[in-house]
Amino acid sequence: MANTKIIQQKELQVGEVAAKLRESSCTVVADYRGLNVAQVTELRKQLREAGIEFQVIKNSLTRRATAQTDLSELDEHLTGPTAIAFSKDDVVAPAKILTAFAKKNDALEVKGGVVEGRVVGYDQIKALADLPSREGLLSMLLSVLQAPVRNFALAVKAVSEKQEA
């Protein structure tokens, strides 16, 4: 009787992890071995402020969830103590926060993750972390869109000044 309760509880946990893997736009897997309590608390605080869920989940449960979601390639990153960051909205934020934290704290090792339903390795997570923020990208786009109008206005002004002279 107790075994069936435990099995049902674990199946529920696997279903929750599978749902998070499906719903998240970016999932980052990291090895947190060697971080002290204060460091983990600081990391959790940074992630929570960005709206990112950070959990330590047993690798066996995560493997079952990846099998349900056709993300079995992620299993190669599920070795040792593993923490997983799930972000539903922002694709760049978890990669940025975890990579920046790993630079300051050698004990944290980013292993890989899932971006928009595709399993990626550390190199792709690092490349994602190096991208400018959403606001930075929007400001770059805005300046590119404004450049032709600004150049046209300067040309018209130069022509009018030349005709006045």
Name the pLDDT band for 2 (thresholds 50, 70, 90): low
pLDDT digit string (tens) for 115-151?
A: 988 899 999 999 888 877 777 778 888 888 888 888 8
- List the single range of 15-19, 116-120, 152-156 with lowest mean pLDDT: 152-156
pLDDT digit string (tens) for 30-69?
A: 998 888 999 999 999 999 998 999 999 999 999 999 988 8
Q: What is the pTM of this model?
A: 0.75
Q: In what order do the strands lie in the sheet with 26-31?
A: 53-56, 82-87, 26-31, 109-115, 118-121
The conformation of residue 82, written as its DSSP 8-state character, comes to E
